[in-house]
Structures are given as structure tokens and as C-alpha cells.
Chain A
């Protein structure tokens, strides 16, 4: 309790300088190989003052003679040393092993020393990601792990949009499998909601030989997360507190768009180019003063009409919608951990609290999380019983869409600037009204109306296990875990009227589902040495997984009062609608593993897994996934004994087979459903889909209301032969460390082949409704490499530094795709997707602009061509531009990803700089679309003023037009495809460790900047190549201040 009070007074505590009698004790902490140990905790037992060792294992601490130092390190027995008058420089050595190589790595149902690894396993350095403003470790890993590719946006809830391990190996779901404390889950949310300070280790299994033990679910890679269970603190309660407060701003990432007058000028120019009277289309918005001569047009002035749609309550505006929609957000991330343990038991409690009040106005995110991990041993350590529970509860209000389905983030860029935010009264939201406008809404108004929307996610993830050791080195373990998620999205749609648009009926809509996946795994492990040189580890086990999800949506209309609290189903008096369904699957597996180690030189691992899944067809219910890998620790050979270059050198080779079963739970069945009153929206949500009946009910009597007779419809075709996808992979790697460990690293090359990729191709419409079926139809190959290099800078006085670089490359290709499946993917009959990734871009090639009618006449027939129009390339040389001229023009995945991290320490200061980027990527620039081309209804960028005219021909911007007869805006073409490579300085952290005083064993304050600088190609006109669409929130610049304290 006393400590709690102290904790609360953390920020106001003023501490005096140390006592007079104390003196400075210096020392170095090393492991059993005499390598320095950074991060060990050194505490004066009597005063509880403490410090941690630096990167070279050094520490210095004030203590008095007669006091005792306790040096602790996770996984090690604490060392106690009494200070005597003779004590000068201490040399503390942990008898166990704690160099990176001796680090024990959880690799799936068992663990290995890092130096014994034979597969491609990335061990994530957690110190670097411990402090991040989002509280989302997954986002913080972006660019830090070779072979792990992460795309994100600025969503307030920190959701990531794409996570790929070694690229895209399948055509469908590429999400990795997560194993958290031995319990598998495919929900990234579970991992993303873990407090970083609660994570003990993260391993990424990248190749099939490492993944194979997870069988039919592992082909997208496996991320193994182990949470902290607390160590032996000798009964003393230890506290840790991390706090970060951040400001987030997207100000520097805004798009340049035209103001009210300039947009009028652009509309005038485009209309005149089209030979249309600008006043016909836009005369209600602007007064155009011009000479009326289409051959030689001269614009004197453009003046916005004083009122929008002639409504005297709506004076015309000149609105910068981006500045209206966005604000500087404040995010806080607080995390508190208490651990206690003794020789037999330990206990770890963690609370996390994250808030973010939203870059987009009226959005927000709050997450509370807590976890308890407990572990206890009995019978002299022969039985271990552990339990953990992690609960995360989050509430979020996200950016919304307008009545017509446009996102507010896109509207902030392209809504007409002549619309004011508010009407004359300053409080009523204004909107589009009158001729010349679109049917879009005021984005701020939409966010305001959506402020009662809330998505609540409650994740409960936990496990209990019992491990017994009946005889020495025989371990029997039973682990039962559950991943339980409750999702409730509440959408309150109040009535409103804005400009010409309105919503006349209010409603409450709840979309909820309940997901529960339980896993029961039982393993038996036996480690034995045949003799001095032959070491064996055996593992066998079974696993049973059962997953179900229940879905329910409820909808009601007509609420008499429009207040947040009144929108409860009982209060509604109008139409009611309920939908719901249930899905689930089961998985039963048997697996085994053999590790063999000869004299620490030759390593061999064999795994085998047999998976049965309810998702697979009756004819193929079981799959077998074998793998083998070998390692050769060259540095242990005699011939290496006398060299000093390499301190470690290990070659690895692995082959293996893994699977993927990410298809629908029911894909194997032919199904008929009674779809009484469905709309397409219930199956494939979308804007237009709301308006499409797909039901089976029909008024045969001719009545206009009331219950209808209904029937059944086939929804899919079964496939009894359906089976898992198979990925075969070969991986060759080299781990090295040389120049006295100054440089260390690893290199991996992989080649993988995925066959029988599960796809549900659309079929020729003539086959009719519900005729699509899931098949094992395609193959992909994927080759690549990863390189990690670390340079441990030489100590020079107080100054230390480390540099870590990582590079990775992959290129995935579709190698086989049955002909009837090809139409589901980009490509045409002549130019198929074979040899390309599904992330490649298919479209027209362009060759500049037509400069004259003569050029048009001489060129292949192109409907809509004309001087100043984009010239498309007749790639098939048939003399006309049509769909068959499309070809492959870019990819959205990079050729190279890289990251660089520099850590520097100087005395008590530390500085970490981290940057990452992608290279060799040509993709879509959404800004080109808005900056270079006119849109009749949306605002555009200043690029349009560089448009082609007979007098201004040296430009790549087509002549302005509102007609687009050349289909420039609707064709995918390389006009929009530019170099989207970039390098971002993602994180700079500058910290200062205050000399421990009084209650604190460690106190560090830091400032941190995220996404501070971006280098990008000049071709890319938008501000941030990471923002691939206007529909997402930009990734903001973040400035944070934080504290890490232990006491």
C-alpha cells in the first residue's frame, strides 16, 4: 500500500541528493561466457535504490559499506553481494546463461536455445518497441523485423491493414497465426491488445521447417508471443510504471486542394474546353465573367455566388475541409505492472489504459486492459501449474461515411470549398444545395452525427496449464486455453437535414458477434543424452480446437427523442429487423518433434503434424505436414578453434510443408438457405448492395404488406474434395558473429511453393445464383531473402552505440491458375496473371498526351482521343485501344523493405533512432487523380492549372475536361502509377535516466517523435506514400513525452 501511495506521488516527488556516507560502487555484470549483460537490475537492498546495467554490462550505484547489492536478471538466480570497505570494482557473473545465444526461444510446444535453432526464426528485440504511443506492439514492429511486412493507417484504434510474413503466399487470407502462451488464435486483435510491458518475448517463425509443427494453419507464418509470468523477486513486490502522453497531427500531410475561386477557374476552363457554357453547369455556384469566345477564351473573373443554392441562410464559404475535419489529437498510454515471486511461485499483474481523442473530430478510442499471470511449482518443481488471463476492453468511434457512402476523410479532401461549415447562424451545419453540386455531405456534420456510434470489443484470452515431470527430463503438459471475443458495434443514425439532403427516419442498429475458440493441447516431452555427444529431445502431442461465432444484428426505427441515452431498442416504435447466423469449425491434430544435437556441432530437427479439419471435404479430411531442418555450428569445429574472426558461425538448412485452411467454415457444403428478406448488403456489405434484394419471399397474393410466402435459394456449390493449401519451402540460412561479436547477423534465403490455393472464383453468370464453389485451384511461388546486421559499437568512455540493419526481399508470383478461375483476377485472355502477384496492378499503358489532331489520326483508334488527351498504348498492336491492351503496370508490394536502427548512450542519456522504408515499389498515387484531372463534382488540386492547351503543350496534365470521353478517370492506367518507394524516420527516442533515488530502482524520462520525416520520390505527388487511399486516416506525426519507472 505504501508503495502504491508512492507510485501515485511519482510526478511530484522531489528527491534530495544522496547521503553523505555513501560512495559510488562500479561494476560489470557478465554471463557465463564472460559476455557483458545489459539490462540487469542492481539494487541496494537496504535503501531499495537501484539501477540497471548499460549495454556493456556496466553499472554504478551509490551504496554504503555494509549494505547489500542484489543483482537480478530475468531467468537467473539473483546474486547478492555485500559491500565492504574493500569493494572497488565489482565483477558479477551469472552462472546460468544469458547471452543472446543462450536465450531460450519458444518455438512451438517446446523451447530451444537460440544457438540451437535450425529454422528461420526472428527473435524480436522488445526493448525497442516497449515505448510506443499507440500501445500496439504490432504497429511498433513495422520495419523492425526482416521478413515481417506491416501496413497501417492512422486509425485511432491502431488497426493494421496488412500483415505479411515473407510476402503473400496465397490468394486469400494472408494473416499469420498467433500463438499466445501456447494458445493459437487467428485474430490479430489479441496480440495487438497486449500491453508491450506484459510481453516477455516475440518470435516470428518464418520458414516451413519452423512452422510445420503448426500444420494446416501455419503457411502464412506464425508469431509466437509469450507473456511475462514474473520472476523470483524473493517475495518483494516490484512495480513498473510506463506512461506516455502524445500529440498527433496530420497537418503536414494534407493534400493541396483548390480554394473556392480557383475551383471556379478550373471549372470554367474545363467547361470551355468541352465547348460547354460554364454557367450551364456551374452558374448557380459561380458568376463567370468571360468573353464568351470558345476559340479564344479569356476569363476576366470568377466570383462565387453569395449564397449556396440561393439560400439566404447559407452564405458561400471558402472552406478548407481538411482543417475542419482534423484536429491535433492527444493520446495517453499508461501501463502499470506489479510482480512478486519466490522460488516456487510467481505472480504478475498488469493494467493498461490507453486513450486517444482522435485526429478526426468526434472520433475516439479508449482501451482498458488487464492481465494476471500466475505460476506455481510443487513437489520440488516436479509439477508446475500456471494460469493466465488477459482482458482487453476497448471502445471506439471511428470516421464515418456520409449518406451516399463517401468517407469523411475523402470528403475532407474533395468536398466543394464553396460550402461553408455552418449556416449564417453559426451552429446549423451547411451542406450542398442547388445545381452544380454533388450529393455529398458536410464531413464534420457526419462525424458529429456519428459521435454516438460506438464499437465495443471485449477480448478475454486465457489459459491454464499443468506440467509434471514424473521422472527426470520427462515433461507431460496439458494446456487448455480460450480466446473469447465479444463485438458490439452500435450505430445510431439520427434524423437530419443538411442542404438538399436529409434523413427522415432515425434508427438504432447493433451488429454483434460472439467468438469463442477453445484449444486443448497435450504434450509429452523427453530430453535425454545417449552419451556425452548425443543429445535428444522428443516431443509428441495432440491438440483439439473448437471455434464458433454467433452473429446477430438488430435494427429498429423511430425514436421519439434524439439523445444518446434514448436510443435503446425498447424506445423505438418503428420497423424492426433481426438477422443472425452461426458458424464454426473444429480442428484435431497430432504432432511430434525430434531434436538431435551431436556435440553441439550438428543439429537436426524433425517435425510431423497431422491435422484434421471440419472445413475440409469428406474425401480429404486429414493432412500431413512434415519438416526437417539441420544446423551446423561451424564455430565449434576444431579447425575454427584457432581463428579469431568468427565468434559464431552456423549454417542452417530446412525443408518443410505447411498448410492453410483459411476458407469459409462451410465451403465444402452445397447449401440452401431461406433468405426471406435479404439484401446483398447482408452478404457482401457495400453501398449499392443495400439496395439489392436477393431474398426468396414474394407477394404471390398481390398484397402490398404483411408476411410473405418464402422459399429457398442455393448459395454455394459443395466440394467434397476440398483440402488445405500446401506450401513447401526450402530455407537456407547463416548466422554469424565476428570481430569479437562486434558484428553479428544472419542471412536467410527461401523459396516456397504453394499449391492447391483455396479460391472461390466467380463463375460465368449463366451458371446462375449460388453456383460458386471453393476449389483448390491455384499455385504460387515466392522467393526471397532476409539479412540482419548488427554492429555493436566499441565502448569509448561514456559513449556507446549499436547499429542494426535489416533488409528483406520477396517476390511472389502466381504460377498456376486454372482458366476458369482467371477472370476472378486482373488480366485478360491475352495477358493473364500467371507470373504476377495478385497485388500487381493491371491496366493501360500511356504514352504522354496527344499534341495535335494529326497525331490522333495517325494513332491506333482510341475512342475519346483528341489533342491534350492521354494517349494509351496499343500493346497488342491491333490498331485499336480496347480492354485487350491492358497489361501489367505496377505492384503494390515492394521489392525491398529495410529498416535501420541506431542506439546511442552517453552517460545517462540514450538516443534511439529508427527508420524504415520500402524500395522498388510502383503503385497508385491517389493524389494524381485529384491533382491532375478535373472532377465535375469534387474539388481538385492545383495541378489542373498546368493542364494542356494548344499553347501550353509541355505538360503531362491532360486538357481539362468534365466529360472524360477518353475514360481517363475510370481506366486503371500507368498515368497514376508512380514510384511509391519511401523512407521514413519512424521513431526517435531521447531518454534520460535519473540516478535512482529513494524508492525508485529505475526512473527514465524520454521524449519521442514518430513519423517525423519522409523521403519519397518526386513522382509521388501526395504527401505520404503510405496513405494509399483517401478513405483512410493519414498516419500522423506524433510527439510524446514519457516516463519509465521501476520501484
Chain B
């Protein structure tokens, strides 16, 4: 008996001691440490992740679709959806009533998402720069691509928020937190331009993987930066000077792109809005989206996911982004096939009798007209969600048919694998035209604008109804050289940009760049509110509403370092 007790005691003592030796370590599973990221494969992975970053936006924090920021805030479109209260943040933008910049949607979330994308570029840049040329023969090219990606995100930020903190991959965390957003416009644009210039200097004219940025994409983007930079603004956002040197840079950069012969306008304008024809000759740089790719739901564009016709049974939600009456009117043409510059908005366009620009049926969902090139399911007023508030027009460029292989429905919303074009050749042509006009060489601009118009006129192949007729009376003609003065050319150019990129989210930024946002938008509201009474309390305040407020949370994160934009 005693022996047994002793044995048990000894055993108990043994386990007491043995348990003291256990290790405390738990190593993370399925993760990498920074030291694991020095191989060429891993470094290339970081570059890939940086590309992925420019597509990592959010329905309520968009970074690649400007439907809310650039289209609803302009005269192109209304918010749509279920009444003004549905996604109130956009309603506030539409009414220029952004009194509460602390909401964690849109303004602050977009800021966050853009910096995520910038940090991916910077993380990859540090890794690429740390690896030798011998190990990584593409080093220079990848650095150039990454700087292109970083500049892309900064460009978007600059257009939205005006004052943003700009730093590069060498900045430490402490330095980043001390980087204010008070750079002058000139310095900020130049920093962005530096990245694109590096890309221009170091990228090949052609990349084996076509989604990567190449030299011409960098040139086109640099041209865009220089174009924005050319319009110099004062503190209250008045355009005080149009810098001729910058315009000259726009001309030569775009000339390079055009002369390369690598790009051309697609035969049909529709090719720009269909997944089957994406990455076509007109696409200079695009954000790639994919489906059936092994990811959770596909790497889809969900930023436009609210914008499908609500009442159409094949979609069932949510009816956002409705085309304005003003935009529809703007598509009307006169007997010469030219825009009704001064009279277009005098009355409601009668689409059964008036002639229109072909692009209306690529842009606007109209009762009885084929929607998204499907004559079997024409758009119907019954598809509209809230006609009493937002009228009967819808938009369609970013949407895809429910039968498309690129279409995916998740919950109530829709995603699409159609790429988002960041730079198209039509933009390159019109940027050059704009530069020539402001350089007072309007004659040089005429063929460029006409090239765009002629393609538009020819883009009717997908527009026929089931009965073989066209839904609208099209009449689009090129401008003639007669009376092609600088003033007229400017008007024509501005009109052409509006129609060519209608509802694509460029309009608001164009208006701000040209310095005509206040006059155009208040003029628009004054007439439009008689048609859509929800706009009755909208008012654009110059010197404030050209830019979004800096998110209040970011000002707090940096302990008041960031300067709020005036008026907020």
C-alpha cells in the first residue's frame, strides 16, 4: 500500500516537472514574414498586388467608378434609387450639402481605399528597389509600372480632394504622418507628373502582358495631368490662367501616343462598353476585372452595382444613376447634325421627332429603346424605380446584360467583369484637341473632334429594335471648318467631351477644370428643378463644392495636420 502511494507520488511529481518545459511558441500559419518577400517571385507578387490595388474599390468607397463623384455631381445624372433618402451621402453630394464629412462612407472610404492602393505600390517599390538587376531583370520596368500605379491613384485623389498629402516609397511611417496636404497645386501636379515621366522614360512601348502599363499609357496619363495642371486655379478655384507650356506638353505627349499607331478608335462606340470587346484598340489603360477566376465572387466591378434598372425582372435592384433630362436634351442635334448649343434645354426633348446624337442610345435607357443593345428586352418605364422623383431615364454604359458572361448578382446588387477604362483613345484625341484650342490653334483641333464624331455617327450597328428600325432619329455630322473660331471650337470641344464621356464620371471634373462648374451647374439646377422638384434645394457654392471635404477622421488621425478645404 505504501509503495503504491509512493509510486503515484513519484508519477505526479514527474508530470509536474515535465510540464514546465513546454515551449511558448506559436508560429503563424499560412503567413509570410517580410524576410520571405525578397525572392524575385515574391517581389513580382507584390507588383501584381499593386495592380490589384487599383481595382480594390468599394460600392460605398469607390475609386474607379466616378458615377457618384463625377456624374451625379454634374448635370449628367441624378442619384436615382429609392427616393432621396436612399444612400443619403450621394444625395448630399447631389445637393452640394456635404455638411457632415465624418460619415464613414464615400468621402472617407474612398480616401482610405485610394491610400491602400498607393501603399501597395510603395510596398512593392521598396521590395523591387531592394533586389538586384541580376536577380530581377525587369527591375526598371516594374519600378516604372509601380510609379505609374501610384500616380494613377494620386491623380484620382487630387481631382476629388484637391489637397492631398503626397509622399513616395522612401517615406517612413513617421514621415508619412508628418506629411501635410498643403502642397501647392503646381507642386502636387508635378509630383504626380514625375512618376508618370519616370514611367514614360522607362516603360517599353509594348508589354507582353497587355494589362500592364506601357510607355504610351504613361504618356497619355501624363498628358492628362498636364492638362489639368494647365488650368491654374486661385484659392477660390477660379481659373486664373491657362498655362501654354503645359498645353504644349499635352500636345506633344498625345502626339506621341497617336503617332505610335498602336491605338485607334474602335469601329463601334459600343465596343468600349462591352466585355467581349474590352482591351480593344481604343483602350490605352484599363483596370482589369475578371469572373470565374477562383476568387470568392470574381474580381468584379461592384462600384456600379447599384445602377441596374430596379423594376426589370432580370435585375431587381436598385435603380441608381438616372440620366438627367438636361443630358438627354444635350444629345439633340440640329438639321446639320450638330448640337443645339444654345437651345437644347429650352424644352423637353421630343425623342420621337427630334434628331439626336447616336451616343444617346449607348448612354441612356429610354422607354422602348433597346437597353444595352438587347432588342428583345427594350427599356421600359416600368423598370424605373422612382419616376416621380427622378424621371424615366436610366443609364447603361457601366451595366451589362443579365445574360452576359461578365454579369454576376450577389445579394441584391450586381457585379461585372467588364474592365473599367482609365484612358481611352477618344480621350487622347479630345485632350489634344482641347490643348490646341486653348493654344489658339483651333484648326488643329477640328479633325480630332470630327474623328470622334464620325465614329459616333457610324456606331449604329447594335442599336436596332426588333422590327429593324432605329429607336431614334440619328443625325450626327462633323463640324465644318467655316466659323471654326477658338470660342466656337471650345464650345464644341466641351460639348463633345460631355457626350462622348456622358455618365462616365468625367463631366464634373471637366467643369471644374474649365472653371465653369458654378455657372454651368447652378444654371442646370435652375431649370432642372422645375422638372425634378427634388433638386429645389440644390445649390452649388463656388469656392467650396468643386472639391470634397478632407475626411474629418483623417484630420483627427493626424492631429489636425491636414488642412480642411475651404467652406467645410
Give chain A's interface residues, CB within 8 Å of chain B. 275-277, 279-284, 309, 379, 382-383, 403-405, 433-439, 466, 468, 470, 476-478, 497, 500-505, 520, 522, 524, 542, 544, 555, 575, 577, 579, 581-588, 590, 612-614, 621, 665-666, 669-674, 676-682, 687-688, 690-714, 762-771, 819-820, 822-823, 828-829, 863-864, 882-883, 935-937, 962-965, 967, 970-971
Contact = CB atoms under 8 A, between A and B. Distances in A.
Interface in B1-55: 1, 4-6, 8-9, 12-13, 15-16, 19-20, 22-26, 28-34, 36-37, 42, 44-53, 55
Interface of B (DSSP majority class)? loop
B293 A707 contact: yes
B26 A665 contact: yes
A468 B388 contact: no
Nearest to A680: B58
B100 A971 contact: yes
A488 B559 CA distance: 45
B402 to A, nearest CB: 8
Nearest to B42: A712
Given A435-B388, A542-B19, A677 B46 contact: no
B101 interface: yes
A701 B105 CA distance: 33
27 contacts: A276-B534, A403-B317, A403-B411, A438-B86, A439-B318, A502-B316, A524-B16, A542-B20, A577-B295, A588-B20, A673-B32, A679-B297, A680-B58, A688-B59, A692-B61, A697-B293, A697-B294, A698-B52, A699-B299, A701-B211, A702-B278, A702-B288, A704-B291, A710-B49, A713-B120, A762-B557, A967-B100
A690 B48 contact: no
Contacts of A520: 15, 19
B275 A963 contact: no
Interface string B279-319: 10000000011111111111110100100001101001110
Contact of A765 (B289, B297, B389, B557): B557
Given A704-B406, A766-B179, A382 B5 contact: yes
A551 to B, nearest CB: 11
Contacts of A439: 82, 86, 310, 317-318, 412
Contacts of B23: 586
B85 A765 contact: no
B318 A673 contact: no
B45 A674 contact: yes
Contacts of A542: 16, 19-20
* 9 A-B pairs closest in CB distance: A768-B119, A677-B295, A711-B49, A711-B45, A280-B388, A764-B557, A696-B49, A691-B302, A711-B48
B290 A708 contact: yes
Given A614-B24, A704-B417, A711-B49, A283 B388 contact: yes
A672 B29 CA distance: 11
A967 B120 contact: no
Given A279-B388, A699-B293, A962-B83, 15 more contacts: A281-B389, A436-B82, A439-B317, A555-B296, A665-B26, A692-B302, A696-B52, A705-B417, A714-B34, A765-B115, A766-B176, A767-B119, A768-B123, A936-B82, A963-B537
A614 B25 CA distance: 5
A470 B295 contact: no
Given A669-B33, A679-B297, A403 B82 contact: no
A522 B15 contact: yes
Given A500-B316, A666-B31, A696-B48, A478 B533 contact: no
Contact of A695 (B56, B111, B316): B56
B495 interface: no
A694 B109 CA distance: 13
A531 to B, nearest CB: 27
A504 B408 CA distance: 10
Contacts of A577: 295-297
Contacts of B101: 883
Nearest to B43: A711
Among B23, B97, B294, B311, chain A packs the most CB atoms within 10 A around the CB of B294
A587 B83 CA distance: 56
Contact of A584 (B26, B36, B279): B26
Interface of A (DSSP majority class)? loop
Contacts of A379: 1, 4-5
A883 B554 contact: no
B15 A505 contact: no
A839 to B, nearest CB: 20
B209 interface: yes
B82 A437 contact: yes
Among A672, A676, A701, A882, chain B packs the most CB atoms within 10 A around the CB of A672
Contacts of A309: 311
Given A693-B55, A698-B48, A829-B556, A436 B313 contact: no
B388 A436 contact: yes
Given A768-B119, A937-B86, A691 B48 contact: no
B413 interface: yes
Contacts of B26: 584-586, 614, 665
Interface residues of B, number: 132
A785 to B, nearest CB: 36
Interface stretch (B379-387, B459-467, B515-523): B379-387
A766 B533 contact: no
B388 A281 contact: yes
A707 B292 CA distance: 8
Contacts of A437: 82
Contacts of A771: 119, 173
B336 interface: no
A414 to B, nearest CB: 13
Contacts of B55: 693, 698
B112 interface: yes
Contacts of B123: 713-714, 768-769
Nearest to B310: A500
Nearest to B45: A711
B144 to A, nearest CB: 15
Contacts of A676: 294-295
Nearest to A713: B49
A883 B43 CA distance: 43
A690 to B, nearest CB: 6
Nearest to B50: A711
A379 B2 CA distance: 9
A188 B167 CA distance: 48
Nearest to A441: B412
A267 to B, nearest CB: 10
Nearest to B111: A765
A544 B21 CA distance: 10
Nearest to B532: A280
A436 B83 contact: yes
A311 to B, nearest CB: 10
A687 B411 CA distance: 9
Given A691-B413, A700-B209, A967 B99 contact: yes
Contacts of A705: 290-293, 405, 417
Nearest to A438: B82
B84 A962 contact: yes
Nearest to B290: A699
B377 interface: no
B122 interface: yes
Among B86, B295, B409, B559, chain A packs the most CB atoms within 10 A around the CB of B295
Nearest to A768: B119
A764 B552 CA distance: 11
Interface in B327-360: none
Contacts of A964: 85, 88
Given A670-B34, A693-B57, A829 B296 contact: no
A693 B52 contact: yes
Contacts of B119: 767-771
Contacts of B44: 711
B489 interface: no
B142 to A, nearest CB: 12
Nearest to A276: B533
Contact of B33 (A438, A672, A709, A765): A672
